[in-house]
Amino acid sequence: MARDVFTYIVGGKAGEGVKKAGTVAANMQASMGLNVFQMDDYPSLISGGHNFSVVTSSEREVRSHYMSAEVVVALDERSYRTHACHVAPGGVMVFNSDAVSEGEGLGVPMTSLASEYPNAALRVGVAGLASLCALSGRTREQMADTIAREYRHDLENNTAYADAVYDHVRNATDLRFELGGTDASRGGSGDGRTDAASGLPMFTGNEAMALGAAAAGLDMYIGYPMTPASTVLHYLAKHDRELGVTVVHPESEIAVANMAIGAAAAGAKVMVGTSGGGFALMEEAFSFAGMAEVPFLSVMSSRPGPSTGVPTYTEQADLRFALGQGHGDFPRVVASPGSVAEAFALAAELMALVWDFQAAGLLLTEKHLSESRTTVELDVNGATWAQGVTHEGGDYRRYLETDDGVSPMLFPPSNELIKWSSYEHDEAGITTEDAEAIAAMHDKRDRKGAALTDRLREMRTVNRFGDDGPLILTYGSTTLSVLEALAAGDIDARVVQPVYLEPFPVWEFQELRDEDAIVVEQSSTGQFATLMSERAGVGVSDVILRYDGRPFEPVELAEDIRKAIG
């Protein structure tokens, strides 16, 4: 197979700047005009352990990392042992010879070289970038430029250390990889001044969702830290003033969800975020939002469960949990993005939908999309703006009966009486136990649900890729893995990815009802496969599952798909 991708893996202990080493390498390649995908694998600890970052780049669109790497940089012994098997044919292992006594590949005394500078242990991550630059034809000037951009502190020492590692690698081997990209074609010119201007920016899924919600008019974000959703909170907290958004971190997920309801009732466009376990605590409020008809949107980013599970890894086993949220009958919307660009657009779209229909909504995703970084162009102009129907004047009733079940909203301060309620209520929002009134309010909410479904019929709710070949069904971040596997394996197939999962777009599956499909998902019981046979009515011939916390690897997945095709 002709490789049209370049992969770099850097591994080390937590605290050695591994993630940074991956990010810097990714940013450098993005600045060269390449398409880049970065996946960070890290355990739930602060110091020690084994972290690694995988950066795959290509001149074509690249939707996944690969685990077969042209350049592996092992900062410690464990990384050497773990990743020796990940060196691609013709690739090279650059290892820290201070940590690995007898290694195969290119040994660089990364620790000894670092010991000449202060904070040696924190600096070894820079060796990753230096090795990559040395092996990919980057000049020292270009490398210095990257360091200046990426490592804000201690520029002089970092540059000197990087030079030492760079020279060591250059002297030890003539091996050079062609990265491609605009900048590389001018490589060696000494002009290192081409940077971000020539390439696409990089965002994680969480950053994209935060920005997408912001582009829809977000006023507040409320969150309680829980991996892998925490970086939505961090990103918005960091940029709150630039965006004009208030960010709150209260005492619990329960407080988060209920504060969000209060904020929305006061007129603020608000979003919350958590993982499955945190949402278990928000579920009561989700139902509250359904009854009170408060616009409510939460990011639910999954990690392997059940229970505490595996905090920093990926899984799609919260699908049924997401679809079945909240006790009682009420309309809700659940959608899951299949790319970082879609995460941005969908966050905005869902924000608009929950405001238009005063509904409870979930933006379902997984660690793999939440935390992976890709080069992406976020379509700000195309972002949906959240508005909602508001009262025009005259006597106000919060739960006014209307044809589509949507009652205009009004926010304080107002001389009208505005009563939002978790109890069953009459049109004015006063508690009722009257049989007719109970049924009438159910009918009103159900009409709203029907109107929501009608709206979805006018929207793009399903993505389709490929024109012929066998049918593959997948969703969420696994879409990335499937599309990259098809590219890696040069397989022709039709991929159908439902973006909206509730209300389920059955109308999009009419012509597929007689077909058999291969389903690919990250769960052990095949929750999505069950959903597809129950709701889409598609025959499921094969289910490809992965549930070890790791995202699919494209080459391996291509093999699985090929076997399923038979």
Catalog residues that contact other proteins under the rule CB under 8 A.
196, 201, 211, 214-215, 217, 219-220, 222, 239, 242-246, 248, 250-252, 254-255, 258-270, 284-285, 288, 292, 378, 380-381, 383, 385, 411-423, 425, 428-431
Cβ closest to other proteins, residue 87 vs residue 236:
236
- Cβ 243 to other proteins, closest distance in Å? 5
Q: Count CB atoms within 10 A of the CB of residue 439.
A: 10
CA distance 336 to 362: 8
Cβ closest to other proteins, residue 421 vs residue 522:
421
- Cβ 372 to other proteins, closest distance in Å? 18
- Cβ 201 to other proteins, closest distance in Å? 4
Cβ closest to other proteins, residue 124 vs residue 222:
222
Strands 332-335 and 500-502, how do they pair? antiparallel
Cβ closest to other proteins, residue 102 vs residue 242:
242
Region at 388 (left for phi over 0; alpha for psi -120 to 50; beta for the rest): left
Which two tokens mark 295? 């616009």
- Cβ 272 to other proteins, closest distance in Å? 10
- Cβ 257 to other proteins, closest distance in Å? 8
Strands 48-58 and 5-14, how do they pair? antiparallel
Burial of 74-109, coded b for 16+ CB within 10 Å and e otherwise, reads bbbbbbbebbbebbbeebbbbbbbbbbeebebbbbb
- Cβ 127 to other proteins, closest distance in Å? 29
Tell me which long-range contacts 182-185 makes (C-beta under 8 A, separation of at least 24): 182/32, 182/33, 183/31, 183/32, 183/33, 183/142, 184/32, 184/136, 184/137, 184/138
- Cβ 360 to other proteins, closest distance in Å? 14
Give the dihedral of Cα atoms 441, 444, 448, 453; nearest 10 deg.
110
- Cβ 456 to other proteins, closest distance in Å? 23
- Cβ 215 to other proteins, closest distance in Å? 5
Amino acid at 319: L
Chain centroid to Cα 47, Å, comes to 25
Cβ closest to other proteins, residue 36 vs residue 222:
222
Please choose, from the candidates 491, 478, 496, the residue with its C-alpha nearest in 3D space to the C-alpha of residue 536. Answer: 496
- Cβ 532 to other proteins, closest distance in Å? 34
Contacts of 281 (CB under 8 A, 6+ apart): 252, 253, 254, 257, 274
Cβ closest to other proteins, residue 332 vs residue 546:
332
Cβ closest to other proteins, residue 248 vs residue 317:
248
Would you give the DSSP letter of residue 327?
S
CA distance 496 to 531: 14
CA distance 7 to 68: 7
Alpha carbon distance, N-terminus to C-terminus of the chain: 20
Q: Is 435 exposed, middle or buried (0-12, 13-18, 19+ CB in 10 A)?
A: exposed
Place of tokens 């997948």: 474
Cβ closest to other proteins, residue 140 vs residue 269:
269
Cβ closest to other proteins, residue 417 vs residue 459:
417
Cβ closest to other proteins, residue 417 vs residue 506:
417
